[in-house]
Structure 1
Amino acid sequence: MTQIRQMTTDYLYKEETDGIIEAFYDVYNALGYGFLERVYQNAFFQELQRRGFLCEVQQKIEVFFKGCLVGDYYADIVVNKHIILELKACASLCREHELQLINYLKSTDIEVGLLLNFGEHPQIRRKLFTNDRKINLRSSV
């Protein structure tokens, strides 16, 4: 017997991520490709704020091991305190880009992330890493 797996259109922060993706395409269509990542980050930040999103740029993410701080990262944009956006301006997304975003999610209480590439062809990857799967990378044991 063959089982058909239905795609769900109801997922965590769907309305917000849909709005973020719309803003991404607005910025991409206006600027095209070829700029540095910082240019897209600035334009995208402005567009998200214009649409009413609460945004923090270059938010520090600390990583702990057995209670000791062992490193930190900086998320490009955090939206509404619960969605991490990692921006790229490269030819194509690769596995390392996806792992970078997953590590951000592992190291925070945030569960949803979007990887957005402003390359020659726009690319989007949605990542989910639920808190029940996280090891203690956020604070002391």
Structure 2
Amino acid sequence: MDAMDENELAKKVYFAALKVHQNLGPGLLESAYEECLFYELQKIGLRVEKQKALPLIYEEIRLEVGYRLDLLIENKVIVEIKAVEAFTDVHTAQVLTYLKLTGCKLGLLINFNVALLKNGVKRLVNGL
């Protein structure tokens, strides 16, 4: 699956998230959606890391400050899962920061607490 670019991966993530949302609907905890999406993505053969620790590198020191990526797909796409009433600027900033720290180009912010999943997905691109 390494040959897939970020957009192809994002499409697969979206359809897997749509399946999870159709089966579970809104109203559950983020951790439930994360586990189910993790399962669906692995089932279709993607390499997925869950709750991946993300250190902060500052000058010559490495800080283990507790940042964790919800899902990292094929070392290319970051997925941050929410179950909130609405996205805030903090959610966007969180994903953009993760993109900068990892060097990944694409992040998906997915809110499962919506009636229609298409209204709960935000694509964020790292300007590098």
> TM-score when scaled to structure 2?
0.88
Find the counterpart in structure 1 of residue 106 from structure 2: 112
Greater than 3 Å deviation, 4+ residue runs:
none
The amino acid of 2:121's aligned partner reads: I
Unaligned runs of 5+ in 2: none
**In 2: Cα distance, 1:13 partner to 1:105 partner:** 13
Residues 1-141 of structure 1 aligned to structure 2 (within 5 Å): 13-70=6-63, 71-121=65-115, 122=117, 123-130=120-127, 133=128
- Higher helix fraction (1 or 2): 2
Larger gyration radius, structure 1 or structure 2: 1
How many pairs are equivalent? 120
Identical amino acids, percent of aligned pairs = 28
- Supply the RMSD in Å over aligned alpha carbons: 1.3
- Matching residue's letter, 2:125: L
Matched to 1:129, the amino acid is N
Question: Is the Cα contact below 8 Å between 2:80 and 2:110 reproduced in 1?
Answer: yes
1:41-78 Cα shifts (integer Å, max 9, x gaps): 01110011111111000011111221223434100000
Unaligned runs of 5+ in 1: 1-11, 134-141
Per-residue deviation, residues 63-105 of structure 1 (Å, max 9, x unmatched): 1221223434100000011111000011111111010000001
